[in-house]
Structure 1
Amino acid sequence: MAQKRPARLRGFRAHLTLWLGGLSLAVMLAVGYYLGKMATVDLTLAQGEALYGRAQAAALQLSNSLKERELEIGLLSQAPHVARGHWGDPDIQASLDRRRITRPEYAWVAVTDARGTVRQATQDVLLGEDMSSRTWFQAGRHGVFVGDVHEAPELAQLLPYEVADGEVMRFIDVAAPIRRNGTLVGVAVALVHWDWVWQTTQRAFAVDGASPAAELWLVDRDGSVLYPSHSAGLQVLPGWPRTVRHQVARWDDGRRYLTSVAAVPPTHGTELGWRVLVRQPVEYALADTWALRNQLIFMGLLGALLITWVAYRTASRMAVPLERLTAVARQIEAGNHAPVFPPPANVLEIDRLSQSLRSMTQTLLAHEHELEQKIRQRTEALEQANAELERRATTDPLTGVHNRRRLQDKLDELMRIRQRTGREFALLIADVDHFKAINDGFGHDAGDRVLQAFARVLQAQTRATDFVARYGGEEFVVVLPETPDLATAAQVAEKIRQAVAASTFPMVQTVTLSMGVTVSGALDESPDTILKRADRALYRAKAAGRNRVEAVPSTDAAPS
C-alpha cells in the first residue's frame, strides 16, 4: 500500500507555493534566456565588427605600404636620367643610393637593361648578373609589378644585414619597366624587407588596444600563413566562406576564437590575394556577454525565490489573480517588453507578487537598455579609432604634412573638378638641395629635423586652401588650387625659395631648395602627366645649379 504524504505537503498552501515557485522560475529563466540570447547575438556582432574594423585597417595599411613602394619605383623608372638608358650615368647610381639610404626598407635597388643584365645596383650587389629568368624581370617588362613574399638566400648572403640563427630573410619584389619613347630599355627593381612591411601593418593594428589578446595573421590566396613567421606555410581556416566577415571558429590548437577576415586591397599593378586575419579567444571576446548571462541567471533565481516566498504567504482568493499573472508571464516569455499587469486584486499578497514581477521585468529591461548603451559606446569608440587610423594613413609621420597617398587623392579630386568646371591648378615640386650631404655630415636625426623645419616653412608660405604633401625622401609637393597662371605659380615658388633661404635650420643653419613649377592643361589626362612635367622642371632647376625655380608650361612637350 502506497505511503501517503504528510497532510501539510498535500495542503493548498504547499501546492500553491510549489506551483508558483516552479512557474516563477520558468518565467525568470525564459526571460533570462531570451535577453541573454539577444545580448549574446548583439555583443558578438559588435565585437566581430570591431575586430573586422581592425583587420580592415591593417589590410588597408599593408596595401598602402605596397602602393607607395610601387609608386616610388614607378617614378624611378620614369626619371629622365634613367629613361635615357645611359647606364654609365652617375646620376642613376646616385638615385639608387639615395633611395636605399632614405628608405631603410629597401634591401636592394637596381636597374637592368632590356636583356636583364644588372647595369647599376646599390652597393654593386649582383652587378653584371643576368636576371632575365627572374619573375620580377619578366613581369616588370610589361608593367609595374609587386611580387609575393619569397626567400632569397643567395642575395641575402651578399647583403650587409645580420640575421639571427634559424631566421630567413624574406623580401617583396617591386619592378617597373623603363621605356624611352615607348621602347623598353630596361627594368627598375627594388627588394623590400618583408619585416618592415609587416611592422608597418602591426603599428596600424596596435593603435586600438580595446581588444585584449587579439592577434594579427596574414595568409595568401591559398590560405597559407605568411605571418607570423613561426607559423609560416601552415594552412588555416581552409573552409572560410569568402562572404563572411567574422564568426566564431575553432583553430588547429583546439581553442575557439572570434575570427575576422579582411582582404588586402590590390595595388595598382598586382592583386596578391592576401587576407588579414584577426582572432581573439572567445573568453576575451565574449566576456561581457557571459558576465551578463550569469547575472541574468542569478537574478532569475533570486526572483524565483522571492516569488515563491510571496506565494507561500497567500493561500486564498488566488485563482483569478494568478491566472492573470500567468498570462502576463506568458507575454514576457513571448518577448513583450510592455506587458499589461492586472489591476489590484484587493489581496495584499497577490499585489506584492504582481509588483515584484513588474519590478523584476523593469530591471531586466533596464539591463537590456544598459546593454544597448554599451553597444553604442563600443560603436562610437570604433568609429573614433577608425578616424584616427584614417588620419595616420594620410599623414606623413615625420613632418606632419599630407603623405603621398593623400596627395594622389587630392590630385584626382582636382582633375575631376577641372573636367567639370575647367578650373586649372598649379603644381610645385620642391627638393632640398644636397640633402644627402646633410645626412652624411650631420646624421639622419639632423636630416629629419631639417625636413620637419622645411615642412613648416612650406606651410607658413602657403594659403589655407593650398595643399602641402611629402612626395618622398626630401621631395615635397605644393598644389595651388584655382591657379591657372604659370607666372603666378612661379612667383609663389620664388617666395617659398626665398623664405627657405632666409630661414635658420637646426644644426645646418642654412638650406636651399630647387623647385619645378607647372600648371594643369586641357591635354593632361591624368595627374601623373602633370607630376612628370613638374619633375622635369625640377630636373632643369638642379641641372642649372640648384637654389632656383624653373617653370614648364602645360604645353611643353617631354624631351625625346
Structure 2
Amino acid sequence: MTFLPDSFRNRLALLFVGLALLVGLPTYLYLNHIYAAQLLRDRGGALRDLASAVAGVLGENLRERQREIELLAQSPLYRRAPLDSSDFRSSLERVQETYPQYSWIGLADAQGTVRAATGGMLVGQSVVKRPWFINGRQGPFFGDLHEALLLTKLLPPAEGQGPVRFIDFASPVFDEAGHLRGVLAAHAHWRWAAEVVQVMTPHDAATNGLDVFIVNQDNVVIYPDGQEKTLLAPDKAAFNPQSYTIDGWGDAISYLTATAPVREFIAGQSLGWRIVVRQPITRTLADVRHLQRVVLLSLAAATILFLALVWWSATRFSRPLERLAALAHRIEAGEEKTRLEVADAPQEIRGLAAALQDMADALLSHQEALAQSNAQLEEKVSERTAALAQANAELHQLARRDALTGLANRFAANERLQDEFLRMRRHGGSYGLLMLDIDFFKRINDTLGHAGGDEVLRHVAATLRTLVRESDFIARVGGEEFMVILPESSLADAARVGEKIRAGIAASQPPIDRQVTVSVGVALATPEQEDMDLAVRQADTQLYRAKEAGRNRVAGGPQSAT
C-alpha cells in the first residue's frame, strides 16, 4: 500500500493519533519532568533533614561520653587518692554499669602502666604506645574507630559479628598541684552507633529502600558493619551539606543522597565523619514511573485501536467517511460537543460513527480521570509531605529536649549559647552564665537507686523553673549538671540569681527524706571574649571552686555567697 499526502487514510490516521497525543502527552510530560523534579526536591530535602538530625544526635552522644570521662578524671578521688587504691576499680565499674557500651575503662599512670581497670583487664600491662595514652597525656582526646588490639583476647567475641571495634575517650588526670598523674581512658563498643542510628531511622526505611551510613574521613563506610568491604561511598567532595545529590555508589544503581557532618566537639580534633542517607532513585520515583507506564500503555492501546479502525473503515468505505473526517476535524479544532453522525450513510458507517463518538467520549473521560488522579496524587504527596514535616519537627524537638526533666539538653544549650553570643557581639551588653551541680548526687543514686536519683533531678528542674525569669534559659547538660543563661545581666545580677537558686533549692521540699542542695559557678560573657565557650569554662571552674569550698554555695560573683 502507498501512502499519498492527501489520502483519506493518512488524514484520518493523523487525526486520531493527534487526539491521543493531545490527551496523553501533556500528562506524560508533566509526570516526567515537573512532578518528578518536585518529588526529588521534596525527598532530597527530607533526606538532608534526616542526615542532619542523626549527625546532631550522634555528635551529642560522643560529646556526652567525652564529658563524662573528663569530669571523672577531675573528681577528688582521681586527683588525690593513691594510684594503688582499690576505690578506682569500684569507681570505674560504676561508670560502666551506668553506660554498658563501655567495654573497658582504665586508669594508667604517667609511665603508661595500667593501675586500675574494669574487670581487672590489662592491669599491670604497658599501654605507653597506645594512641589514647600518648594523646591523653596532652589533653582530652577522642580516638577514631579501630579494632581492638590488647583487648582482643580478653573480651568474648560476639557471635555473628565481625572484629571487635572501639572508639576511645581519654583525659589526663592531674593532682592538686597540676602535675600529671596518669591518663583515664574508656573504650566504647561500636555497637552504640547502631543503636543511635536505629532510633533515628524511620520505621518504614526498609520498605522505602532508605539506607543510613556513617562514613569516615577516608571516605569508607564504617556503619553498618562490614559495608566498608562491599560498598564504596561516593567521593566526599561531591556532597553539599545544604542540598542533595544523585550519585552512583560503585554499582549500576543511582541514588538520591544527602549528607551532614558530625561536628567537632574537642577543639583541634576533627573526626571527619559524615552521616550519609541514600535512597534508590527508582524507589523515589516509583509512583511517577507507574503512572508513566499507565499513560504510555493507554496511549499506545488507544492509538493502535484508532489506526486499526481507520484502515478498516477506509478500506470498506470512502465517500461517507469524508463527512466523518470533516466532523472529526471540528472536534480536533476544539468543538468537543460535535457529534459524529452521518444520517445518509450505510449501517456500517453509522455504526463506525457511533463507535468513533464513543471513543472520543472515552478519551475525554480518560483525560478527566487523569486530571482527577493527578489531583488525588498531589493531595497524597501533600499529606505525606506534611507528615514528613511533622516527623522532622518531632525529631528536631527530641534532639533538643532532655527526656527525663523536660528541660533543654546540651545540644539546645549550645544553640542558645551561640545565639546569645552573636547577639551580644552585635549589640553589646553582656549575659550571665550559671553552672549548677547537685551535691552528693552519686550518694543519692547509690542509696536510693536511679529511680530516686531521677526524682531528685525532676525536682531540681521544676524548682529551677520557678526561680528564674521567663526570658532566662535552663538546660540539663550532664548527669546532674544544669546550665542557666541570663540574658542582659551583669556579674552581680548573675551572682544574685545564683544565690537565689541555691537558697531556693536548699529550702525546697525534695521527694526524698534528706535535704537537696546545689553548688553554683557564676561567669559573665562579654563582647571582648573570643568564643562562646570561654564563659562556660569559667563557670565550670567556679563550680569546682564551690565544690571544693564545701558545696551548697555560689562561687564566681563579686563576692561568694554561702
TM value normalised by structure 1: 0.76
AA aligned opposite 1:268 = F
Question: Which of residues 412, 434, 437 in structure 1 aligns to 2:443?
Answer: 437
Call closer, same or farther: CA 1:123–1:537 in 2, change over 3 Å. farther
State how far apart, in whole Å, the 2-side matches of 1:56 and 1:416 are: 22
Residue 391 (structure 1) aligned with residue 397 (structure 2): yes
Say whether residues 1:65 and 2:61 are aligned partners. yes
Q: Sequence identity of aligned pairs in percent?
A: 31
Is the Cα–Cα contact under 8 Å of residues 506 and 517 in structure 2 kept in the other structure? yes
3-state DSSP class of the match of 1:154?
coil
Residue number in structure 2 paired with 1:408: 414
The one of 231, 236, 252 equivalent to 2:232 is 236
Q: What's the offset of the Cα at 1:405?
A: 1.9
Write the letter of the residue equivalent to 2:413: L
Name the CA shift for 1:27/1:265 in 2 (closer, same or farther; >3 Å): same
The CA deviation at 1:310 is 10
Is the contact between residue 467 and residue 500 of structure 2 (CA under 8 Å) also seen in structure 1? no
Q: 2:510 aligns with which of 504, 507, 516?
A: 504
User: Which residue in the other structure is 1:518 paired with?
Assistant: 522
By relative contact order (CA 8 Å, sep 6+), the higher-ranking structure is 1
Amino acid across the alignment from 2:165: R
CA contact (8 A) 1:218 1:227 kept: yes
3-state DSSP class of the match of 1:520? strand
Partner of 2:221: 225
- Between 359-368 and 346-355, report the one with greater CA deviation: 346-355
- Partner residue of 2:265 out of 268, 285, 288: 268
Contact residue 46 and residue 375 of structure 1 kept, 8 A: no
How far is 1:392 from its partner? 1.4
User: Is 87-96 or 258-267 further displaced after alignment?
Assistant: 87-96
Q: Letter of the aligned partner of 1:193 in structure 2?
A: H
For residues 55-454 of structure 1, the aligned pairs below 5 Å read 55-74=51-70, 99-118=95-114, 121-122=117-118, 125-152=121-148, 154-155=150-151, 158=154, 163-164=158-159, 168-177=163-172, 186-206=182-202, 212-231=208-227, 233-237=229-233, 242-243=238-239, 245-247=244-246, 249=248, 256=253, 258-269=255-266, 270-280=269-279, 284-297=283-296, 299-300=298-299, 304=303, 315-317=321-323, 341=334, 361=367, 364-365=370-371, 367-454=373-460
For 1:81 and 1:535, locate their aligned partners in 2 and report how far apart those are by CA, in whole Å.
18
Contact 2:498 2:520 in 1 (8 A): no
Letter in 1 for 2:514: T
Measure the CA separation in 2 of the matches of 1:163 and 1:351. 73
Provide the C-alpha distance between the structure 1 equivalents of 2:114 and 2:95, rounded to a whole number of angstroms: 17
Deviation at 1:484, TM superposition (A): 1.5
The letter of the residue matching 1:287 is A
Equivalence for 2:47: 51
Distance in 2, matches of 1:443 and 1:78, equals 24
Distance 1:492 1:267, change over 3 A: closer
Q: What's the secondary structure of 2:144's corresponding residue?
A: coil
**Structure 2 stretches lacking a partner, 5+ long:** 342-352
CA contact (8 A) 2:239 2:259 kept: no
How much does 1:554 deviate?
6.8
State the shift of 1:199 in Å: 0.9
Unaligned runs of 5+ in 1: 5-11, 329-340
Cα pair 2:143 2:169 within 8 Å, conserved? yes
SS in 2 for 1:273: coil
Summarize the Cα distance change of 1:531–1:52 in structure 2 as closer, same or farther, 3 Å threshold.
Answer: closer
Whole-Å Cα distance in 1 between the matches of residues 534 and 93 of structure 2? 26
Q: What is the CA deviation profile of residues 84-134 of structure 1, one whole-angstrom value per residue up to 9, with x for unaligned ones?
A: 898679998887566444444433344545544445655654445432211
Match among 32, 37, 54 for residue 37 of structure 1: 32
2:543 to 532, 538, 556: 538
Deviation at 1:368, TM superposition (A): 4.5
When the two structures are superposed, what TM-score results if normalisation uses the length of structure 2?
0.76
Deviation of 1:391 after TM superposition, in Å, equals 1.5
Residues 287-343 of structure 1 deviation map (CA, whole Å, 9 limit, x = unaligned): 3223322442355357658977998798334666656766x7xxxxxxxxxxxx369
The partner residue of 2:467 within 451, 455, 461 is: 461
Structure 2 distance, partners of 1:361, 1:513, is 74
Tell me how many residue pairs correspond in the alignment. 530
Give the whole-Å Cα distance in 2 for the aligned partners of 1:298 and 1:496: 76
Distance 1:555 1:77, change over 3 A: farther
How far apart in 1 are the matches of 2:418 and 2:29? 52
